[in-house]
Amino acid sequence: MATIRYATAPPVEHSIEVDTICFYEHAAPAGRFAVCVACYPMSSIGFCRLGAALPHESVMQPGENSLTTFLVADPATLRTAAACHGALRGMLAALPELQSLRLTEDEWDAVVPADVVPAIVGAARRANGFSFCFHMGVHRRVIHDERGLLMACREWRLAASALGEKDCGICLDELERESAVQMTCCEHAFHRRCISEWISKATCPMCRRDVWRPAVPEILELSFAGAPAQGMPDIE
Ligand SMILES: [Zn+2]
Ligand SMILES: [Zn+2]
């Protein structure tokens, strides 16, 4: 008996962007040196038409933020750029709000703001009793093409639904489980080959409901869970 393995289409682009919003020093109590970090993580997902340079729409997921203080026992450990970069990476990796972005190993290095490192090195050289504070925004973006949208439709609904005696809404022929795709927004189902031309319109051809917006939470979860890219689903 044939079973379908569901997979997520790989993103066509994913990127991490960091901007430092402000940084400043102020005197710390008891002559300690501390680094304070306020972080504003954002993630977004978008879909682009095949060959298009920009996504036609994207959804922002607002993050949380907090101010976390890291006491530095020996400021001498922050007096070179390389050492400061390493120490900052460790601090940022400890921030719970950044964990929600589920960064890869490569992406962690990109999270350390380059403009902050020399400022911390300078502060660490000047005095022991300062707090160095910086506020940063971290934005992780994932873009899928229509194939990703098509895969999300399958994965979300088809596995749990019985197609029964349904016919394809486009060609009116009978649907088989192996060849069918059900929309995320409604109960309408189509042959994969029939809907694949239409999917760039991002609406259901039967009822014109928005296809991809209802799927965004699931696609976000899959995109940021680092699910292995397996390409198109196989029939086993
Ligand atoms: Zn059809
Ligand atoms: Zn529909």
Residue-wise pLDDT for 99-140, tens only, equals 878 888 888 888 988 889 999 998 888 877 788 888 998 888
Sequence-distant (6+) residues with CB within 8 A of 1 are none
Check residue 153 and report its DSSP letter. H
Q: Residue 231 pLDDT more than 50? A: no
3-state secondary structure of 57: strand
Instruction: Kindly indicate the confidence band of residue 89, based on its pLDDT and cuts at 50, 70 and 90.
Output: very high
Nearest-ligand number for the alpha carbon of 190: 1
Q: How far is the CA of 155 from the centre of ligand 2 (A)?
A: 17
Q: Tokens standing for 80?
A: 């070179």
For residue 180, the ligand closest to its alpha carbon is: 1
The domain defined by 145-224 carries CATH number 2.160.10.10: no
Q: What is the pTM of this model?
A: 0.69
Query: Taking the CB of residue 101, how many other CB atoms lie within 10 A of it?
Result: 19
* Ligand 2 midpoint to CA 189 (Å): 8
Could you tell me the residue ranges of all domains in the chain?
13-143, 145-224
The CA 46 to ligand 2 mean position distance, Å, reads 21
**C-alpha of residue 57 to centroid of ligand 2, in Å:** 20
Give the residue carrying structure tokens 């109590």.
Answer: 29
User: What is the tens place of the pLDDT at every residue in 195-207?
Assistant: 877 777 778 889 9
> In terms of pLDDT, which residue wins out, 83 or 158?
83
| Digit-coded pLDDT (tens) for 32-41 | 889 999 988 8
Measure 185 CA to ligand 2 centroid, in angstroms. 7
